[in-house]
Amino acid sequence: MNEAATVSVVIPAYNAAKLLGGAISSALTQTRTPDEVIVVDDGSTDATAAIAAAYPAPVRLISQANGGVADARNTAVREARGDFIVLLDADDQFLPNHLERCIATWQSMATSGQNERLIVTSNAYRLTRQGLTTSTILSSNFPPPALQRQKILETNFAGIFAFYPRHLHDEVGLFDATMRRGEDRDLWIRAIFSGWRIVPQREAHAVYRMAGTSLSADHERMAEAERQVLQQTRDRFADTLTATELAYLDLRLSSPAPRQLIHEANDLIRRDSWLDAADRLRQAAQMLPSDGRVRARAWLATHRWARPLLSIHLRMSDTRLRPVSE
């Protein structure tokens, strides 16, 4: 990345009037100012468009009929003039040196024997109803390149705070606009299976606002979106999947989603239904073989002496990570 390279921040926004100003301002107050900030108003019925229009250049507003977040991101990417794309959702924020750190991470990896087909995913603090937490979104056990094909099939280890060359989309396509959830993971899978690699910017230089709901119906929708992503992966890459990858995808597609099993296990733990909780956790661990935390929880749930520890941990997590109310 040379000094003349340009950067486009893309922000999809739908009825985001309460929060959009914070997102735009966080992009404009970077230590490395972006060359443009593209806000796509995705058919909002509130003041979203008016707020975006009130900002001068380099903010650009594009308005369209509602098509979902993937469609809005695609509109922004098509219109982007930058050499690099930076993703930001309307309810999240960058901390001041986010872009500077992403650029430094990309440059260091691209000049250390890696090719330039690199995606930087940045860490972020979680914002909950109780305020900004020290909990962050990226796992400390970020998978190395050799393990990323298998790991991305297990779970979306890449956060949504992404920085990458614009030509990624020329090679693997845009976000899947037919998807209302899971569209980012679908893109990362296509990239990884096409030879791209994801590298972490491990320090938290952004703020991720947790969703305002945690209903079981939402878990079910997320599980269905995950199933769609995995089915599309099996269909798209059928000729290049290894026997291990194919067997894993078949297991996942014939079983409940791990996130749903873990959600059910948590509810069972809250009701002291330990045998059923342990069974759900064992199933989840089978489908997430590289997730040591799930394996540990499954083991602890089978031992009476350890069960109070799991209950305490779950109560603390419920309190600490309760979503922000809109």
In degrees, to the nearest 5, what angle opens at C-alpha 189 toward C-alphas 167 and 97? 60
Instruction: Domains for the chain: give ranges and CATH numbers.
Output: 7-209 (3.90.550.10), 216-320 (no CATH)
CA atoms within 13 A on the CB side of 256: 17
When the pLDDT of each residue in the chain is averaged and rounded to a whole number, the result is 92
Query: What's the rounded Cα separation, in Å, for the pair 273 and 271?
Result: 5
Model confidence pLDDT, tens digit, residues 55-71? 999 999 999 999 999 99
Q: Is the pLDDT of residue 157 over 80?
A: yes
Model confidence pLDDT, tens digit, residues 243-277? 999 999 999 999 999 989 999 999 999 999 999 99
Query: What's the rounded Cα separation, in Å, for the pair 42 and 28?
Result: 21
The model scores a pTM over 0.85: yes
Model confidence pLDDT, tens digit, residues 210-246? 865 443 457 788 889 999 999 999 999 999 999 999 9
Query: What's the rounded Cα separation, in Å, for the pair 153 and 156?
Result: 8
Question: What's the DSSP call for residue 325?
Answer: P
Model confidence pLDDT, tens digit, residues 10-48? 999 999 999 999 999 999 999 999 999 999 999 999 999
Give the pLDDT score at 215.
38
Alpha helix (H) residue ranges in the chain: 20-28, 48-53, 69-79, 98-110, 148-154, 167-172, 183-192, 216-236, 243-253, 258-270, 274-287, 292-301, 307-320
Phi, psi values for residue 164, rounded to 5°: -160, 160
Q: How much of the chain, in percent, has pLDDT values that exceed 70?
A: 94
Give the pLDDT score at 320.
61
Q: Is the pLDDT of residue 324 over 60?
A: no
Q: Is the pLDDT of residue 191 over 90?
A: yes
- Decide which of 111 and 203 is more confident: 203
Q: Is the pLDDT of residue 113 over 60?
A: no
Tell me, letter by letter, the H, E, C secondary structure of 261-285.
HHHHHHHHHHCCCHHHHHHHHHHHH
Phi, psi values for residue 125, rounded to 5°: -80, 145
> Residue 326: which pLDDT band, with cuts at 50, 70 and 90?
very low
Give the pLDDT score at 321.
56
Q: How much of the chain, in percent, has pLDDT values that exceed 90?
A: 79
- Decide which of 217 and 85 is more confident: 85
Give the pLDDT score at 262.
92
Q: Is the pLDDT of residue 323 over 80?
A: no
Give the pLDDT score at 213.
43
> Residue 314: which pLDDT band, with cuts at 50, 70 and 90?
confident
